[in-house]
Amino acid sequence: MTDGTALRLSVIGLGNMGEPMARRWLAAGYEVHGCDVSEQARVRLAAAGGIAHEAAPPAVEDASVVILMLPSSAVVNDVLAGVRTRLAAGTAVIDMSSSEPAQTRENARALGEAGVALMDAPVSGGVRGAEAGTLTIMAGGPGPLVEYQRPLLECLGTVIHVGPVGAGHAVKALNNLLSATHLWATSEAVLIAERFGIAPETILSVFNASSGRSGSSEVKWPKFILPGSYDSGFAARLMLKDAATAAQLARQTGLPSTLADAVVSLWSRAAEALPPGADHTEIARWIAASGEPPSP
C-alpha cells in the first residue's frame, strides 16, 4: 500500500454516517469509491466527487482500504462473503459498523488467512460529529495496523486504540449501554420534575452543574428533546441493538447483567411501539406519553 492521498478507499454503506465520512475523505484528497443499496445515496456520493457503484464487489476492486459502515454484523457478514474474492492480499478492512465483538474476531481470523487485515473502528458522536470531524473512534486491532490507519481515521476525529481486534466494538456497545441508561433515567427524572411543577430547563441546569449530569442532560435533552426536533441522527433500534450486544457481552464474560437486561427490556418495549426509523431521542416523548396521568 502507499501513503497519503494515493490511497483508494472503498466505503460500503453510505447512510447517515457513511455519507458524511466519505465526504470528509474526499475533502482530504482521497480517491473514494462507494456502494449503497440506496440510489439517492449513490447519487450524492457522485455529486460530491466520489465514484459510486451499485454493488459491493466492483466497489472494492483494487481498493487499499475497505470501510464498512453497516447496520449489523449480519449485514457485514453478507458483504464480506460477497467481496472476499475481490480483496487482494495486503488490503485492510476497517469495520466501523456497530458489530458484535465475537463475530468481528472471527471475521478478522478468516480474512487473515487470505492476507487481508481487519480492524474495528466504531464511532461515537453522531451525524454532526461525522460532518464536523469530531467523532470519537474506538479502534481495535494490532498496534501497527491501527497506527498505519490512524491518519486516515483522524480525518473523522480522535482515534483511541482500545485493545485487540473486537475491542472497539465491545467498547462501542458498552458506551451505548451507558448512553441508553442515562437517557432513560434522565428522561424519567425531567418528566417527574415537570409534573411536580419544575421547568425542564431549570432541572437540567441543576443536573448539569451537579453529579447527575451526562451526555443526555448536557446535549440530548437541550438540543433534540426540548426543541421537539428529535433528530440526533441515531435510531432507537440501533441504540437497542448496541445495548443488547453489551448485555450479551456481560453474559459471555461471566458477569451479571441485571441492569443491562433491564435497560434492554425497557428499550425493547419502546422500540416496538415507535415507528421503525424513530430517532433514539424519541424515547423521552414515548416515556411521557406512556406515563400514568396524575391523580386528581
Domains of the chain, with CATH numbers? 4-163 (3.40.50.720), 170-290 (1.10.1040.10)
The three cell numbers locating residue 273: 411501539
pLDDT the model gives residue 294 = 52
pTM: 0.91
Contact call for residues 86 and 98 (beta carbons, < 8 A)? no
Contact call for residues 188 and 225 (beta carbons, < 8 A)? no
Assess whether 220 carries a catalytic annotation: no
- Of the residues 172, 220, 223, 241, which is catalytic? 172
Q: Across the chain, where does the E strand assignment appear?
A: 8-12, 31-35, 51-53, 65-68, 92-95, 117-120, 123-124, 135-140, 157-163
pLDDT the model gives residue 1 = 35
pLDDT per position in the chain (296 positions), as tens?
Answer: 334 445 899 999 999 999 999 999 999 999 999 999 999 999 999 999 999 999 999 999 999 999 999 999 999 999 999 999 999 999 999 999 999 999 999 999 999 999 999 999 999 998 999 999 999 999 999 999 999 999 999 999 999 999 999 999 999 999 999 999 999 999 999 999 999 999 999 999 999 999 999 999 999 999 999 999 999 989 999 999 999 999 999 999 999 999 999 999 999 999 999 999 999 999 999 999 986 555 44
pLDDT the model gives residue 296 = 44
Contact call for residues 32 and 26 (beta carbons, < 8 A)? yes
